[in-house]
Amino acid sequence: MFRYTQAIVRKPGKNFADGITDSVLEKPVFEKALKQHIAYCETLKYCGLELTILEADESYPDGCFVEDTAVVTEKVAIITNPGAETRRGEVKKIAETLSKFKKTEFISLDGYVEGGDVMNVGNHYYIGVSNRTNEKGGRQLSEILTNYGYSTSFIPVNTILHLKTGITHIGQNNFIATGAFADSFKQFNVIQTDQDEVYTANSLRINDFLLIPKGYPKTKNQVIKLGYQIIEIEMSEFRKMNGGLTCLSLLF
């Protein structure tokens, strides 16, 4: 499995709670979010990554969710054009930062893509077509990826925010998924979340470790049986803003 060495993260701003969410949970507490973000960053370092930590930009309350601003592969970094209009300005700083590490390509303005809708499995990329990633953007992304030797396919995302809200690849052809996506990946080994643990569908494999949100014992026990080294991360404040473990970093 490919080993990551770098990560880009961005600190949450004091107006973090003003971001986009359809959660029915109470508003996040900034001080708790900041503490959880620091712990997340320390975990990335423990997993062997060197971090580029960007300062918060309060022009963009959702800016800590850097995953949506780029799709980073071994060969190229593709700067996205987020479907949420209030987030489109986030990509400028990310593009500047990624260009120091990678060749960059761009999704043009007539298409929308958010990185949370893009899941890679080896050299194949699944592209979710959602309210945030439209068909034009998906086709642009597919064309760029194909030009660099990757294959792609499309998956409709109708009832949740992003593809990776409902399914993540945790390595070795194992997945964690909600029921809505489990059937689409029957050719693989899928851990299907219970209804009260759907938040764990967004988990994050980094090198020798699997990061899962803290407080979900049923999914945790299923993953342990597969032999993963698990690190539990408290994500309560980011969950309130529709954010998960993959959302907070760009890995390469």
Mean pLDDT, the chain, rounded, equals 97
Q: What pLDDT was estimated at residue 9?
A: 99
What mean pLDDT do residues 174-189 have? 93
The alpha carbon of residue 125 and the mean position of all alpha carbons in its chain are separated, in whole angstroms, by 14
Q: What pLDDT was estimated at residue 24?
A: 86
CB of 108 within 8 A of CB of 38?
Answer: no
Instruction: Give pLDDT tens digits for 56-67.
Output: 999 999 999 999
pTM above 0.85, yes or no: yes
Report whether pLDDT(84) > 90: yes
Residue 183 pLDDT grade (very low, low, confident, very high; cuts 50, 70, 90): confident
Instruction: Give pLDDT tens digits for 94-141.
Output: 999 999 999 999 999 889 999 999 999 999 999 999 999 999 999 999
What mean pLDDT do residues 44-53 have? 98
- Which domains are assigned to the chain? 6-251 (3.75.10.10)
Burial class (CB in 10 A: 0-12, 13-18, 19+), 113: buried
Active site residues: 162, 247
Report whether pLDDT(1) > 90: no
Cα separation values, 204 from 19, 134, 209, Å: 23, 25, 8
